[in-house]
Amino acid sequence: MSEQLRAASFLDKGGTGKTTTVAHLGVALSERGNDVLLIDLAGKQADLAKNFGVWEDYRERIEAEDDWPNISTVFREQWTRIAKKIDDPLDELVYDTGEGPDLIPAHPGLDGLDTELNDIEEIEERYSRLEEFLDSYVSGYDVVLIDLPGSTNNISYNGLWAAQHVVVPVEAGPFEAQQAETLKSDLERISDRFDVDVELTMLVMNKTDQRTKLSEEFADEYSAAFDGVLAPHEVPRSQDVRNAAVEGRTLYAERGLSESAKRALEAFEENAEELERRLKA
């Protein structure tokens, strides 16, 4: 690829399946021949690391205070000086997931980062630090997917600024539909305020139950409200998705999948193909 493709998973709400979506889209894009990097900015719980089974190794490094540098370090003013003293600064941050993508896991240092960034008066400097890191140190990847916090803060703004393309997993429901509409308006406001083109690239209907009329009704509503943005396939609710995550893997590494899990896997694959097409366009 001539240019790196970037997208961030975001919604001002937890529990919508952002981490699961990033993990499975990441593996699907890797299986399509891309070098993929996943970045977890969603908080110290490091759910992406748990989803890929690398959390225990990372937790041991944190407890042994052998966790420097980490993802929170790249947002700080001294990062450039730190990076010059390290032979391969990116290698210090990256973990192999074993399923294709590489991962930079979340770190407890992210918790205090929002306040630190808020002290930076210059707006462009405050919100462009992740973009500068990606441009300078992560050029070797075809695709970068960023899992953002379930709240609007300075870390989220950094992710949106850097990616400029947003993937939003939503469930079927009136509250979720309103949130998606609000997010679309917020992204337009952010673009106008900061003169950065941030767009809603894909809305993914997640955890749907095709046995209920509710999912069908909201599928029609989302299709009308988000014409050209809605993902081509709904991701059905499947206990296998949660079971696999608890075991530290995605559905791609599971055996003996249920029918619902097979449909979910097919949906992730088709949505990943369409996401790649949209990002290239």
Distances, alpha carbon 239 to alpha carbons 80, 168, 210, 242, 246, in Å: 44, 21, 15, 5, 11
Rounded to the nearest 5°, which phi and psi values hold at 10? Answer: -150, 140
- Distance between CA atoms of residues 173 and 259, nearest Å: 24
List beta partners, residue 29.
none
In this structure, what CATH number is given to the domain that contains residue 159?
3.40.50.300
- Distance between CA atoms of residues 117 and 155, nearest Å: 8
The model's pTM: 0.94
**pLDDT (tens place) for every residue of the chain, 281 residues total:** 348 999 999 987 777 789 999 999 999 999 999 999 999 999 878 899 999 999 999 999 999 999 999 999 999 999 999 999 999 999 999 999 999 999 999 999 999 899 999 999 998 999 999 999 999 999 899 999 999 998 889 999 999 999 999 999 988 777 777 878 888 888 888 888 878 899 999 999 998 886 666 667 777 778 887 888 999 999 999 999 999 999 999 999 999 999 999 999 999 999 999 999 999 99
Count of structural domains within the chain: 1
256 Rama class: left (phi>0) / alpha (psi -120 to 50) / beta = left
**CB under 8 Å to 198, separation ≥6 — which residues?**
160, 161, 163, 164, 165, 166, 187, 190, 191
Domain that holds residue 151: 5-280
